[in-house]
Chains A and B, each alone.
Chain A
Amino acid sequence: MSDPVAQGVGLRVGDAAGGRRHSLPPRVHRFELHGVKLAFDAGSGTLLELDQAAWRVLGDYLAQGPEAPALRSPMPGMLTAAEEEARRELDRLRESGVLLSPVTLPARPEPVLKALCLHVAHRCQMSCSYCFASGGDYGRAAGSGLMSPATARAAVDFLLGSSPRVGRWAMDFFGGEPLLNWPVVRETILYAERRAASLGGQVRFTLTTNGLALTPARLAFLDQHGVDLIVSVDGRPAVHDAVRRTISGRPTWSRAVRAARLATSTRLLDVCGGAAVGPGGGGQDRSGDERPVRGARAGPTVWIRGTFTRRNLDFAQDALFLFHLGFSRVSLEPVCGGPPDLALRPEDVPYLAGQYELLARECAANGFRFYHFELDPTGGPCLSRRMAACGAGNEYLAVTPEGDLYVCHQLVGQEEFRVGDVWHGITRPEVGRKLWQHDVSSGQCADCWARFLCGGGCRAAAFFEHGEVGRPPSLECALQKKRWECALWLAARRRGRPG
């Protein structure tokens, strides 16, 4: 490991050797959560925990504005002895480049397609009240709604043919409900594995399901081929069944949880608390130590993923309910749009922020893993890959059952975001180029402390809120910042712990 301080000293904006675009000013976010005082440096990606003296000194400095040259004592005698010590420590960190750090943005490479979201079924057994897919068909209701084997093979050929040198590709089976087209899921996995192997590479698969059609035999196949699973459960039975019902109106909570338990039964690392155990009889305690238990195999993951709406603003209770059922990896997403009685409103943000704070405290105490708190700042993407969000429209596309290509799964059916089809490839490259231009180097994101954490946020959410993709979605932006605060706080709590 190289010496970061030594590397940081003496660097100046403008020294970059090639690939330089421009620099962004220093930005520090100073905040307090659960009695812990923290400061996050957006330029270097550094998190500091401060005592009262350092908190006050840094606050005074930041109040002077970003142009203040150094953490100098304003006048001799103005600071206490402790504050003067803190000032010198903070100034040392500033000099070493990890605090109040400007950053020169690296050039972003030309995008290469490497991931597809295959909508193998625009049909669903369920009719969820908030479904952005309009019950599974995205408002299109074309043909059978099931992807044919030929279309699926063409999608694989399109992906691998678009980026043969990548060597590692990703495919997500999505819908509607993808298990309603199980033969195509199965055949596509086998076909993609063969094609990728012929190029010396491999494909990583994910399948997002409501679980109703998940069987032990299907799970065994998915396990064998390393398919990551996302199973949809919204939390407490009453919350789930209020919005997630079958087309005929029957509740689904019991069946969904049964499927989630089935999925976790073969994926030992995702089970905690002793409520469920893997085939080896192992489990995982609540100490926060996420190391594999003896005899467990590393393998595909499963996340329990739900949605919260205005009907369950106390969504932390739903996450905790799922954790206490034995699921250690849980994600709950704010509803994307939805009817007026379900859609979140700006005035809900303060209450929702409190829910995230509550959830963070429970994660720290019990070792739960909430998807949006999994920060991994020193092990995640490099800076050039943090400058933009998901790569939609360029590195990632969605495929409809008929083979049409859209920039992302949430924008399927929005004609202006259709970019081609799997047989003819990209016929409207200008759509992707427009999306690629939006990164955190300009606009309001350039001045935001969370710019390299969210990459500018979800373009689909921006489109649904503003009618354009260039502005960050305001409600999502507010919630994301709170989630990052909680994630940073958790990082401070978990430091030094094993695993």
Chain B
Amino acid sequence: MRAVEPADMANGGKVRTSHVEVVFSAGWHREAWRTDLPRECQECQTSCQSACKTSCTVSNQPCPLDDAR
């Protein structure tokens, strides 16, 4: 058994310990503290879920925030 270390989480979010595996972590709990939104997101000020879209309809790409995570 070994404890979960920060380096584990940095490895694509995949952690395997003896008893628990982190399949993924979206990190939503950290977003409330964000003050460094990319400029395009600040200007966008829209909801990506409009019209039932599930990704950013501004860039038609995954949300730029993902690169900052």
Interface residues of A (CB under 8 A from B): 1-8, 11, 15-20, 38, 43-51, 53-54, 82, 85-86, 88-90, 92-93, 96-98, 101-106, 109-112, 114-115, 117, 163, 165-168, 170, 172, 204, 206, 374, 376-386, 388-391, 395-396, 452, 455, 488, 491-492, 495-496
Contacts and interface: CB of A to CB of B under 8 A. Distances in A.
B54 A17 contact: no
A386 B28 contact: yes
Contact of A47 (B23, B45, B53): B23
A3 B63 contact: no
Given A110-B45, A115-B50, A380 B63 contact: yes
A85 B32 contact: no
26 contacts: A2-B10, A4-B10, A4-B27, A44-B26, A44-B27, A47-B24, A54-B19, A89-B4, A93-B20, A98-B9, A104-B32, A105-B32, A106-B32, A106-B34, A112-B46, A117-B51, A170-B57, A374-B54, A379-B55, A380-B62, A381-B63, A382-B48, A384-B31, A385-B47, A391-B49, A488-B23
B65 A17 contact: no
Interface string B10-51: 100110011111111111111111110000010111111111
Given A2-B68, A104-B33, A378-B13, A388 B20 contact: no
Interface residues of B, number: 55
B39 to A, nearest CB: 12
Given A45-B25, A46-B26, A170-B53, 18 more contacts: A1-B69, A3-B6, A4-B13, A44-B27, A45-B29, A47-B24, A49-B20, A89-B18, A106-B34, A112-B45, A114-B46, A167-B58, A374-B54, A380-B48, A382-B65, A385-B49, A386-B28, A495-B23
A389 B52 CA distance: 8
Given A4-B69, A89-B4, A390-B50, A53 B19 contact: yes
Nearest to B9: A5
Interface of B: 1, 3-10, 13-14, 17-35, 41, 43-60, 62-63, 65-66, 68-69
Contacts of A43: 28-29
Given A3-B9, A104-B32, A381 B24 contact: no
B4 A5 contact: yes
Nearest to A43: B29
Contacts of B6: 3, 5-6, 96
Given A88-B3, A101-B29, A50 B20 contact: yes
B35 A96 contact: no
Main secondary structure of the interface of B (DSSP, over half): loop
A204 B49 contact: no
A109 B7 CA distance: 34
B50 to A, nearest CB: 4
B23 A49 contact: yes
Contacts of A374: 54
B14 to A, nearest CB: 7
A103 B1 CA distance: 30
B20 A86 contact: yes
A111 B20 contact: no
A452 B28 contact: yes
Given A115-B51, A381-B49, A4 B9 contact: yes
A307 to B, nearest CB: 15
Nearest to B52: A390
B29 A97 contact: yes
A496 B58 CA distance: 29
B43 to A, nearest CB: 6
Contacts of B43: 165
Nearest to B64: A382
A381 B30 contact: no
B25 A98 contact: yes
A436 to B, nearest CB: 10
B63 to A, nearest CB: 6
A82 B19 contact: yes
* Interface hub of B13, B49, B68 (most chain A Cβ within 10 A): B49
A102 B29 contact: yes
B1 A89 contact: yes
A53 B28 CA distance: 27
Nearest to B56: A381
B64 to A, nearest CB: 9
Contacts of A389: 49
A18 B35 CA distance: 8
B50 A396 contact: yes
Given A17-B33, A47-B23, A172 B51 contact: yes
A78 to B, nearest CB: 17
Nearest to B34: A106
A19 B57 CA distance: 23
A219 B68 CA distance: 39
The 3 A-B residue pairs whose C-beta atoms are closest, nearest first, are A45-B26, A104-B32, A86-B19
Contact of B51 (A96, A170, A388): A170
